[in-house]
Amino acid sequence: MKFRRSERLIDMTNYLLDHPRQLVPLTFFADRYASAKSSISEDLAIVKETFEQRGIGTLQTVPGAAGGVKFFVKVSQEKAEPFVNELCQLIANSERLLPGGYLYLTDILGDPQIVQKAGRIIASAYADTKIDVVMTVATKGIPLAYAVASQLNVPVVIVRRDSKVTEGPTVSINYVSGSAKRIQTMVLSKRSMRQDSRVLIVDDFMKAGGTVMGMISMLEEFNSQLAGIAVLVEDEKIQERLVDEYLSLVQLADVDVKEKRISVQAGNYFNIWRD
């Protein structure tokens, strides 16, 4: 069946968006649309230009007989800023205050549109980084971790507080909570991650970073390397941060329980463009 160019462009775009960071041979598209490679190359040039103009991503061409094209998500600063500002407004709503100064974020982490946009923005920062696995800790960080992993086309590994019989043999470590200074336990199935993996840690909220440090310690048990750390919200008022290098979309500047006021601002994500 012969496809018109408009049909090819729509289907090709959809395929590339569904298969980020995956090498797609030109012969695959040529066979799929019963078209010459020269026509496919012209189509890909149009897709690449549109992606870059609209701040969606970019296409990387790999030359050679075994080459092809890869799609990488790349969210521009102009696209990211309105979303982060909107996220700040949502989090600053005083109705989110819970007893003890905690914030209610479950509705945000349960909103597919918000989580998917946040996932794209975080993945954009690591699009050029070699990543094999996205790691998070149960339970609130799971939706965000999957959103990031889907854009990086890698699996998700979930660290739990206790072992599950359905996960088989596990690795267990103790770590010190950064804020409460309590000894806690992390458990990860031995089958969940290969040795020598490069891991991006993703979490919903970070205070002092004790939980993140626990996951970093877990990586050592798998002879794996840390590729990056990304959080949706960080608490800026922490005096002693256990983690130095990380990416955040939102910074929690202050919580005044008495006045019912939450002060937030954009996180360090936009330092990417300033560096």
132 within 8 A of 157, measured Cβ to Cβ: no
CATH architecture of the domain covering 5-73 = Orthogonal Bundle (1.10)
Phi-psi domain of 156 (left: phi exceeds 0; alpha: psi -120 through 50; beta: other): beta
Cis peptide before 139 (omega within 30 of 0): yes
% residues pLDDT > 70 (the chain) = 97
Global confidence as pTM: 0.93
Q: What is the pLDDT of residue 221?
A: 96
Alpha-carbon dihedral sign for residues 124, 25, 130, 219: positive
Say whether pLDDT at 103 is over 70: yes
Q: Where in the chain is the domain with CATH 3.40.50.2020?
A: 77-274
Q: What is the pLDDT of residue 241?
A: 83
pLDDT band at 179 (very low <50, low <70, confident <90, very high): low
The CATH fold of domain 77-274? Rossmann fold (3.40.50)
266 within 8 A of 85, measured Cβ to Cβ: yes
Q: Give residue 48's identity as a one-letter amino acid code.
A: K
Q: What is the pLDDT of residue 257?
A: 84
Say whether pLDDT at 267 is over 70: yes
SS (H, E, C) 193-247: CCCCCEEEEEEEEECCCHHHHHHHHHHHHCCCEEEEEEEEEEECCCCCCCCCCCE
Q: What would the pLDDT profile of 117-173 be if each residue is shown by its tens digit? A: 999 999 999 999 999 999 999 989 999 999 999 999 999 999 998 888 888 999 999
Distance CA 60, CA 72 (A): 8
Q: What would the pLDDT profile of 34-80 be if each residue is shown by its tens digit? A: 999 999 999 999 999 999 999 899 999 988 777 899 999 999 888 99
Q: What is the pLDDT of residue 273?
A: 57
Cα-trace Rg, the chain = 21
Q: What is the pLDDT of residue 21?
A: 96
pLDDT band at 96 (very low <50, low <70, confident <90, very high): very high
Q: What is the pLDDT of residue 274?
A: 57
pLDDT band at 226 (very low <50, low <70, confident <90, very high): very high
Distance CA 132, CA 135 (A): 10
Q: Where in the chain is the domain with CATH 1.10.10.10?
A: 5-73
Distance CA 65, CA 170 (A): 43
Q: What is the pLDDT of residue 106?
A: 95
% residues pLDDT > 90 (the chain) = 79
